[in-house]
Amino acid sequence: MENASHFNEVFNSCIADYQRHADIERVPENPFQKATLDYALYQKNWIDNVQWDLEDLIRDPEILPGKALDLKRRIDRSNQNRTDMVEQIDDLFESRFHDTVPRPDARLNTESVAWALDRLSILLLKIHHMGIQAGREDADDAHRTRCRRKLEILEQQRLDLLQAIDELIEDVASGRRIVKVYRQMKMYNDPSLNPIYYSKKQG
């Protein structure tokens, strides 16, 4: 089974591919075979790259209200897509652990492997963008120093998270820990659950 360092490489390859163009409209050219874990991880990280840029755009103090609303709705869709991708990744891991019998003393984990990988995907984006800030020639020395210090902390977080992900996978595979996969069941995007949607239909 792949380890956290491998997942790190998949995410970083996607970040490098996206940042060559940094175009929120660009369709990803996923280099991995469909229906594989690497394919799903690449797609997930691409969504995160696009959303990072969308979150920057919507914070433009001079943005027109109509444009801001369009971006907000796009961010909502992106969040839903992100959640859907994480759940697909959970399904892939669940199939891998399907035959694992938990030990009698197995402990329940609060986070699935896929949601831990979601954190890694976002963390690697933070490292990428903080690295840009740490090297900005148009910023002063104080700015670059602050960003270098933050970058050191982020890098330690990355190492800790890689270790934690490997330990989680090993523990689940050996039956020492149990991961229950619960769907997010988001309500605001569901026309049958969001009262703003269904009240208008009734009216």
Q: What is the pLDDT of residues 167-187, one digit of tens each?
A: 999 999 999 999 988 877 677
Residue 196 lies in a domain: no
Q: Is 147 within 8 Å of 34 (Cβ atoms)?
A: no
Q: What's the pLDDT score for residue 2?
A: 86
Can you tell me the distance from the alpha carbon of 132 to that of 56, in angstroms, rounded to the nearest whole number?
15
Q: Is residue 150 part of a domain?
A: yes
CA distance 112 to 118: 10
Three-state SS sequence of the chain: CCCHHHHHHHHHHHHHHHHCCCCCCCCCCCCCCCCCHHHHHHHHHHHHHHHHHHHHHCCCCCCCHHHHHHHHHHHHHHHHHHHHHHHHHHHHHHHHCCCCCCCCCCEECCCCHHHHHHHHHHHHHHHHHHHHHHCCCCCCHHHHHHHHHHHHHHHHHHHHHHHHHHHHHHHHHHCCEECCCCCCCCCCCCCCCCHHHHHHHHC
**pTM attached to this predicted model:** 0.91
In a domain, 32, yes or no: yes
Q: What range defines the domain where residue 60 resides?
A: 4-189
Please check the confidence at residue 203 and state whether its pLDDT lies above 60.
Answer: no
In a domain, 201, yes or no: no
The answer to whether position 195 is within a domain reads: no
What is the per-residue pLDDT across 97-150, written as a single tens digit (0 to 9) for each?
999 999 999 999 999 999 999 999 999 999 999 999 999 999 999 999 999 999
In a domain, 134, yes or no: yes
Is residue 200, in this structure, part of any structural domain at all?
Answer: no
Q: How many domains are contained in the chain?
A: 1
| Within a domain: 199 | no
